[in-house]
Amino acid sequence: MTKDWHNSCRQLLDAGRKAVTWINDPANASTLGIEKRSVDKRLRRMITEATKLENSVDRPMCVGVFGPSQAGKSYLVSVLARKGEKPLTAQFSGIAEPVDFLREINPGGERESTGIVTRFSLRPLPSPEGFPVCIRLLSETDIIKILGNSYFLDGDPKKQIPPEREALQSVLRDAAQLAATRSSQPNDNRLSVEDIWDLQDYFERTFEGTRSIDALRIFWDEASQLAPKLSVTERAALFSVLWGRLDAFTGLYAELVRTLSGLGFAQDAHCPIESLLPRTESIIDVHTLLMGLGQADQPSLQIRGAGGVVMSLPRPIVTALVAELHIAMTETPWPFFENTDLLDFPGARSRQPVDLEEQCRKTESNGLANLFLRGKVAYLFERYVAEQELTSMLLCIRPSNQEVPTLPNMISDWIAKTHGATPKARVGKTTVLFVVLTMFDTHFVDRAGEEKADPGDRFKSRLFSSIESFFGKSHDWPTDWTPGEPFRNVYWLRNPNYPAESIIEYGERGRETAYRADRKEYIERLRAGYLRVPAVERFFRTPAEAFDEALKLNDGGVSYLAANLGPVCRPDLKDEQIEGRLSELQGQLTAALSPYYVSNDVDKRLEERRQVCNAILYHVQRLGAEQRFADLLAALQVSQHGFSNVLYDVQTRRSRETEKEGEKRDRRPAAPVSFTAMPPLPGAAPLAAPSPVPNGVTAPLRQGSANQNLAQAAVGFWIDVMRSNAENDVLGQYFQGDNKLALELVGELSNAARRTALDNVVLKIMDRISGTVTEELDMTIEKSAFACASTINRFVTRFYFERHAESQRPIAPTASGAAVPVFAERPAANHAQEIALEPSNQQYDALSEWMYAFHRLVEDNAKSVDGLDIDIEQNSKLGAILGMVPGVGEGSRA
């Protein structure tokens, strides 16, 4: 590598940790206001991602082979990992003879045989004597994600009841009582606050839109503080709400995590050769998992974990915990293996919703093991994407309709991380996605009714079902890889081991010898029809060559694919990807901190923000033309039900904290607390009147009042939801996949909310509608939730400019050519003569007023420091932190 990426990552991590310290300094509480918790969470997530990036720096480049189950992946892996016609052999330390991988290790049979990732590499790993098999293990958070994946994607949504607020509060209350008894982290716990934020990000991104995920929004904050203080058994009870408190899932989590704890939470482990041989008992065979997980009297296996600890474990447990098997090859199949590993992923599978409780009761077919396997297979690819392991991908797609509906989103997420989320972001990036259309020979078999059809139709249909319909229906990358240009890195692949007797002649041992003389004209006719198909020209860089290479005897197109793969398997490509990801994370740090840094160069700041504003409004204009502007506004708002959940959580948590503090304090009334708004206690002297407030000054709100806590929580929750929606494509879809621009919009709204003290506006309305002290909690919460929803959602649509005098509002053009103050009252028509002959274009006027109001809002944010209690020393510290990010220094406030 040409650059010290470790140093760059560590510099970013250092800046991130200093930023967390700055955020949590009490001196900056008034500067951050309601956004403190949200910014702290964003920074910790950035630190987690930067840590993953640094961990990936020293790992070799990787080509991943992925696709639906039974799509021809196994054949492609086998021919890429072996040299010519020689068998693929593996070398293990202490084992004299190489082991034939396909014959002796890989599970046999025409079935999906493994539930792990297999890494083929020329780099042997060091291993202790007697333990030559090198494996990578799942982590505790991996296990949680796998169980959650199975619960949400394998469970019948009709039978999944979202957790009740009272049930969540009960679980959290129990966990809080247990955590309060400990002053340090238990020995069987390695979780951090950042791990819980990572879990929240995974669950909300992967399963967003489900009722349970919405209900769980109140869970994560408190869980992040409690989980690192709990034992395995206690954590099992806490996390059980993530999978509907299914006892079988909770028990499996506890068993697997206890095993990890015994192994010292090792990331890598080692096993004896007996873990793979004989292959009928191998730990990589799904049969070992399916037939034994959760069953008694299973054969055991020694495994060596962190610090040299050795445990004897049931084979199914080891199989469940293995994420990756490392195979050291004995020969170099292709030149690119000198600096690249090949990763064979288990095939993606379609998910059929089932009754999870009933499935877990099926002991004969081991329903629990099946569910865990489905979740694990789906999650492993997501893990390697998140850890930036995949430098390039060979995506195998079989003919006919596709049956894995989750696959397009999985591929799109990987494209966003490696190439960029938008066509513009992908400009200049090396294309490292190879779409491999397998089973090419099936197109040379005439089906009934095809004899007289256009010979190009079969190829047109294939490209439609495999690419245009499947991936292009919900994502733009097939047709708009870069602006105005389609994706053009598609290949055909044929397996010569499957006889294509309709067009090819065979000799000894099934070797292909020649094309059938009587079918050469037929092949040429199909070739000519193929080259006339517009989609062929669109997706193939060299259509004729791709066709001819796939028909190459005893090759089937693999040499052509490998020749094109070689040039992208170069170290500088990994540098390019690391640099892109590092820049993205640096941008996240800057975006999180810069709104709180006050610069002297306001003009520069104003010009920068105007440019961003125009980029946002360009898309708003487009949404108006597409009749989707209202959808954008709705995506920026939160329902009354959503506010109700978070307010309930705040109220009940406050009650618990009050009770806890009450136990520690003397029971006598605390003198400093003022109760001037309350009647005196019976028999007590009348309370003194409060000190008068000077004219023109608003009395400061007493910190910690019940309604103030609710108002601050509601505005903070709204900002969190918007930011989560921007990060998870809910908002990005309105900006043609540009999540960064969606985050800019959210940033402007949250800055304006802080600047205008939106929480105080909500508080005043709450105080106005507050009930009596005898009012039931549920009624209080619902009234408060109504106040939050109506006030905050109105802020989204009008930014509260209607509270200003019309002379102080921005001016917007109307459809009739007039210019009016935004959101001005329109005169009502009291009789027919006051109704204009031509109807007004209210849609145009509403869009125009919002756009011009938003433009003013952005300018006011850039020019104003209202709401910021500027501490020169703290501001200087923040400037120094921002200065640690390349390209961001004194004077920046982006």
Amino acid 18 reads K
Sign of the dihedral through C-alpha 394, 400, 404, 410: positive
CA dihedral of residues 573, 576, 578, 584 (deg, nearest 10)? -150
Question: Which ranges constitute the DSSP H helices of 566-705?
Answer: 571-593, 602-625, 629-635, 640-664
DSSP sequence for 464-501: IIIIITTTTTT-STTT-SBTTB----EEE---TTS--T
Burial class (CB in 10 A: 0-12, 13-18, 19+), 756: buried
Question: What pLDDT digit, counting tens, does each position of 467-518 carry?
Answer: 999 999 889 999 999 999 999 999 999 999 888 888 999 998 889 999 999 9
Q: In 3D, which of 109, 205, 77 has the Cα closest to residue 152? A: 205
Q: What is the mean pLDDT of each run of 10 residues along the chain (894 residues)?
A: 83 95 90 85 91 90 92 92 91 93 84 86 94 97 98 89 89 94 90 93 88 88 94 97 96 97 96 93 90 85 94 95 96 93 92 90 85 95 90 93 87 90 90 96 80 87 94 92 96 93 89 92 94 96 96 95 93 86 91 84 83 92 90 92 81 57 42 36 36 35 64 90 84 86 92 90 86 68 89 93 89 88 80 68 89 92 65 88 73 38
Whole-Å CA distances, 509 to 321, 497, 512, 556, 783: 41, 10, 9, 17, 80
Tokens of 498: 């499957």
d(CA 446, CA 669): 91
Residue 111, pLDDT score: 62
d(CA 310, CA 327): 22
Cis status of the peptide bond prior to 278, with omega within 30 of 0: yes
d(CA 741, CA 615): 8
Q: For the whole prediction, is pTM greater than 0.85? A: no
Residue 351, pLDDT score: 86
Tokens of 798: 């009008």
Terminal alpha carbon distance of the chain: 31
d(CA 765, CA 223): 31
Find how far residue 726's CA is from the centre of its chain: 11
Residue 238, pLDDT score: 98
Residue 294, pLDDT score: 79
Q: In 3D, which of 555, 558, 553 has the Cα closest to residue 512? A: 553
Question: Of how many residues is the chain composed?
Answer: 894
User: Contact, 791 vs 765, CB < 8 A?
Assistant: yes
Find how far residue 757's CA is from the centre of its chain: 32
Q: In 3D, which of 887, 884, 872, 855 has the Cα closest to residue 597? A: 872
CA count, 13 A, side-chain hemisphere, 543: 17
